[in-house]
Amino acid sequence: MNKTFLKLFVATHVALFRATRGRIGSSMRGGKVLLLTTTGHKSGKQRTVPVMQFDDGGRRFVIASFAGSPEHPAWFKNLQKKPEVGVELRGERYQARAEALSSAERAPIWQKLVATAPDFAAYEKKAGGREIPVVELKPR
């Protein structure tokens, strides 16, 4: 997928999600999607992207799979430098602190995730050895 198409897809998804308050764009391929707003680590600009979410035991996670790319997605790089993020779900908006799980913390969450969304197991194989980060969104 080329960068121009990807930017257009993301912008359209965000616009539809916001215009319909999540009635359109809050799910994809059977999973839940949220809008995540990070602050650019170089530009300082706000960036919003749709990402898959996974809830477990009252905790909310997003997965930095980047469809199995060998690189982390830009939004993950942004939150590593500036972990304060905005979260938009269908009918809900809040500020959160994004924290990447350690490998040990990640393991049980990852197992539950791939049991419900097998595409992520394929993404992990495709990522060429990159451990796909699991990020907890802790409401502020």
Residue 107 pLDDT > 60: yes
Tokens (6 digits) for 28: 């994809």
Q: Which residues make Cβ contacts (< 8 Å) with residue 49, sequence separation at least 6? A: 10, 14, 35, 36, 38, 73, 75
Q: Where are the domains of the chain?
A: 3-139
Look at residue 82 in the predicted model and tell me its pLDDT: 96
Contact 36, 86 (CB under 8 A): yes
Contact 85, 38 (CB under 8 A): yes
Instruction: Report pTM.
Output: 0.91
- Give 49-67 pLDDT, tens digit per residue: 999 999 999 999 999 998 8
What is the percent of the chain with per-residue pLDDT over 70, rounded to a whole number?
99
- Secondary structure string (H, E, C) spanning 116-136: HCCHHHHHHHHCCCCCCCEEE
Look at residue 1 in the predicted model and tell me its pLDDT: 55
At the top level of CATH, which class does the domain 3-139 belong to? mainly beta
